[in-house]
Amino acid sequence: MHSDPRAFWRPFDQAAHPAPLPRITRGSGLSVFGDDGTEYLDAISGSYNHCFGHGDAQLLDAVQRQMHRLVHFCSVTGDTGLTEELAATLVEHLAVPGLRHVFLTLSGSEGIETALKMAWQFHRNRGAARQKIASLADAYHGCTMGALYATQRGFCKDGLPFVSGDDSLAVPPPHQGGDLEVWRELLERQGEAIAAIVVEPVMGLAGAIEQPPGFLRGLCALARQHGVLVIADEVFCGIGRAGSLCEAAAQGAEPDIVVFSKCLGGGFSITATVASDSVFAGFLGDSMDRAFRSGHTQTGNLLGCAAALHVLRRIRDEDWCGQVRRAGVALREALESALTGSAEVATVRGKGLMLGIECTSFDACGAVQARARAQGLLVGTAGKVVKVAPAFPISSQQSAQLVELLARSAR
Ligand SMILES: Cc1ncc(COP(=O)(O)O)c(C=O)c1O
C-alpha cells in the first residue's frame, strides 16, 4: 500500500523535506530488517530502550501472559496487584535508603512532569511558593510543556510560551564551568525561590557526559541546605544503561526524586518517578488538599508493568549491570582506538553502553550517521554527537562489527 507519506508527521524533522529513512519492519536481537530484506545493526536499541534487544522471547512472553489476563484497569477504581508489585520490586532492587515511593506514568516526559509537579506541590503543601526550576544548559528532559520547563535546548523550546523565562534557570554543566561554586552562589541568591534542580547523572542528548566525581553528591548536599529538591533524570542513563540501576546512587548522591524510563520497559511504555520518604511525607494529611494532584488514564499501564517486572528481575538475576559495564569499557576503548586520526571525530566518551562520539561539526555528525546507515549500521545523533547505545546482550563479534562500520563511516 502506498499511503500519503505526509500523513504521519515525523517528530523532530522538517516535513517539507523529510529525511529519507529505511523502512524497518522486523527486529530480532540487535538486528532490525528493512522491508527489502536489508539487515541493520541497531546501535540505538530502538530509542535507547530495548535493553534486551528486539523480539526478546522471555520479555514478550511476560507481557503476553499479562495481556491475556488483563490489559488495563483504572488504578483509581481497583488494585490489580501488579502496579504494587512493580513499585515494591523497584524499591527493593534499587535499595537506595529512603527512596521508596513510586508513581507510574508512560513516557519519560510525563515522568519528569510528575517530578516537577511533586516538587511544586511539595513546597506549596508547606506554605512556600517556590516556582523556579534550575537545570543544566544543553540538557534534554523531555518535550511536553512541563518537561520543557527543565529542558535547556533552544531548538526544543525557543518561541513557545510558558516554558522559558526567569523561572526556568539554565546553569552551565560542570564541563562548561558550572561547578559547585556556581551553584553555591545561585542558591545563596535565589535558593528560596527554587523548587527543584533537575540533573542527569550522565547527560544523554548533551553527548553521554558523566558528571565529574563528587559533583552530584555535592549538589544534593548544597540543595538540601537551601530546602531545594534534587530530581535525578535517569530516563536514559538508569536501569542498567550506564552500568548501574540508579546512577545517582552509584555516584554517591542522594536525590529526592529519581525518574526511570526507557530501559525499564525494555521497549514497552512505562516510567517510574520515585520519591523519597520526606517528599512522600509532604503529601500526607487528613484532607485531599495535600494529596498529590496527578494521574493519567495509563497510570500503571499493566503491559508496561509486566515488562518492567521482567526487566528488573532479569537485570538482577543475570547481573546485566556488570555485563554492561564490561561491554561498555571494551566498546569505548575499541572506538577510541579505531577513530583516532579521523578528521571528523573530536572525542569518544560515555559510561556503560551509553556512548557519544563528538564530531568536529554538525555536518560531519550527519555525514557519519548517513554513511553508517548506508553500510547497515543505525546510530543516533544529537547536535554534534553521534549516539551509540546498543542493547545489553551485544556480543564481542557485534561490538567489533559496530566499531569497524563506524571507523569506515568517519573520514
Ligand atoms: C534524559 C531524558 N529525559 C527525558 C526524556 C523524555 O522521554 P520521552 O521521550 O519518553 O518523553 C528523554 C528522551 O530521550 C531523555 O533522554
Q: Ligand 1 in contact with 223 (CB < 6 A)?
A: no
- Distance from residue 27's CA to the centre of ligand 1 (Å): 22
Determine the residue of 109, 231, 351 to mutate for testing ligand 1's pocket, defined as the one with the most ligand atoms within 8 A of the Cβ atom. 109
Determine the residue of 145, 149, 235 to mutate for testing ligand 1's pocket, defined as the one with the most ligand atoms within 8 A of the Cβ atom. 235
The answer to whether residue 329 scores a pLDDT higher than 80 is yes
Q: Ligand 1 in contact with 261 (CB < 6 A)?
A: yes
Cα separation of 258 and 112, whole Å?
9
Reduce the secondary structure of 294-312 to three states and give it as a string: CCCCCCCCHHHHHHHHHHH
Q: How far apart are the first and last CA of the chain?
A: 39
- Distance from residue 142's CA to the centre of ligand 1 (Å): 5
The answer to whether residue 293 scores a pLDDT higher than 90 is yes
Determine the residue of 133, 141, 203 to mutate for testing ligand 1's pocket, defined as the one with the most ligand atoms within 8 A of the Cβ atom. 141
Q: Ligand 1 in contact with 235 (CB < 6 A)?
A: yes
pLDDT of residue 345: 97
Claim to verify: residue 399 and residue 345 sit in the same structural domain? yes
Claim to verify: residue 231 and residue 369 sit in the same structural domain? no
Claim to verify: residue 270 and residue 367 sit in the same structural domain? no
Whether 3 is covered by a domain: the verdict is no
CATH at residue 78: 3.40.640.10
2 pLDDT tier (thresholds 50, 70, 90) = low
Q: Ligand 1 in contact with 398 (CB < 6 A)?
A: no
CATH at residue 362: 3.90.1150.10
Whether 14 is covered by a domain: the verdict is no
Q: Residues 358, 381: contact at Cβ < 8 Å? A: no
Cα separation of 252 and 247, whole Å?
9
Q: Ligand 1 in contact with 236 (CB < 6 A)?
A: yes
Domain count, the chain: 2
pLDDT of residue 303: 98
Claim to verify: residue 118 and residue 165 sit in the same structural domain? yes
The answer to whether residue 1 scores a pLDDT higher than 80 is no
The residue type found at 326 is R
Q: Which of 302, 317, 332 is the last residue of a domain?
A: 317
Claim to verify: residue 39 and residue 124 sit in the same structural domain? no
pLDDT of residue 7: 87
Place of cell 526507557: 262
- Residue 110 neighbours by CB under 8 Å, 6+ apart: 142, 144, 147, 271, 296
Q: Ligand 1 in contact with 273 (CB < 6 A)?
A: no
Q: Is the pTM of this model over 0.85?
A: yes
The answer to whether residue 311 scores a pLDDT higher than 90 is yes
Whether 296 is covered by a domain: the verdict is yes
Cα separation of 255 and 167, whole Å?
21
Q: How far is CA 86 from CA 53, 162, 255, 328, 332, in A?
A: 22, 35, 21, 28, 33
Claim to verify: residue 87 and residue 158 sit in the same structural domain? yes
Claim to verify: residue 391 and residue 309 sit in the same structural domain? no
Whether 12 is covered by a domain: the verdict is no
Instruction: Provide the 10 A C-beta neighbour count for residue 97.
Output: 10
Q: Residues 233, 198: contact at Cβ < 8 Å? A: yes
pLDDT of residue 361: 96
Q: Ligand 1 in contact with 256 (CB < 6 A)?
A: no
Q: Which of 317, 340, 369 is the last residue of a domain?
A: 317
Please write the tens of the pLDDT for every residue from 46-70. Answer: 999 999 999 999 999 999 999 999 9
- Distance from residue 75's CA to the centre of ligand 1 (Å): 24
The answer to whether residue 132 scores a pLDDT higher than 70 is yes
Q: Ligand 1 in contact with 112 (CB < 6 A)?
A: yes
Q: Where are the alpha helices (DSSP H) in 107-200?
A: 108-125, 145-148, 154-157, 180-190
Q: Ligand 1 in contact with 49 (CB < 6 A)?
A: no
Q: Residues 201, 251: contact at Cβ < 8 Å? A: yes
Nearest atom in ligand 1 to 48's CA = 14
Q: Ligand 1 in contact with 292 (CB < 6 A)?
A: no
Cα separation of 130 and 204, whole Å?
28
The residue type found at 396 is S
Determine the residue of 49, 157, 261 to mutate for testing ligand 1's pocket, defined as the one with the most ligand atoms within 8 A of the Cβ atom. 261
Q: Ligand 1 in contact with 201 (CB < 6 A)?
A: no
Average pLDDT over residues 238-267: 98
The answer to whether residue 298 scores a pLDDT higher than 60 is yes
Claim to verify: residue 306 and residue 367 sit in the same structural domain? no
The residue type found at 367 is A
Whether 15 is covered by a domain: the verdict is no
- Residue 331: domain span: 24-55+320-409
Q: Which of 267, 282, 317 is the last residue of a domain?
A: 317
Claim to verify: residue 176 and residue 286 sit in the same structural domain? yes
The answer to whether residue 183 scores a pLDDT higher than 60 is yes
The answer to whether residue 409 scores a pLDDT higher than 70 is yes
Instruction: Provide the 10 A C-beta neighbour count for residue 11.
Output: 6
Place of cell 527493593: 92
157: cell is: 523550546
Claim to verify: residue 369 and residue 304 sit in the same structural domain? no
Claim to verify: residue 67 and residue 121 sit in the same structural domain? yes
Please name which of 310, 331, 339 lies closest in space to residue 399, comparing C-alpha atoms.
331
Please name which of 125, 204, 200, 139 lies closest in space to residue 168, comparing C-alpha atoms.
139
247 pLDDT tier (thresholds 50, 70, 90) = very high
Please write the tens of the pLDDT for every residue from 347-388. Answer: 999 999 999 999 999 999 999 999 999 999 999 999 999 999
Claim to verify: residue 324 and residue 307 sit in the same structural domain? no
Whether 11 is covered by a domain: the verdict is no
pLDDT of residue 144: 96
Q: Residues 31, 39: contact at Cβ < 8 Å? A: yes
Instruction: Provide the 10 A C-beta neighbour count for residue 94.
Output: 22
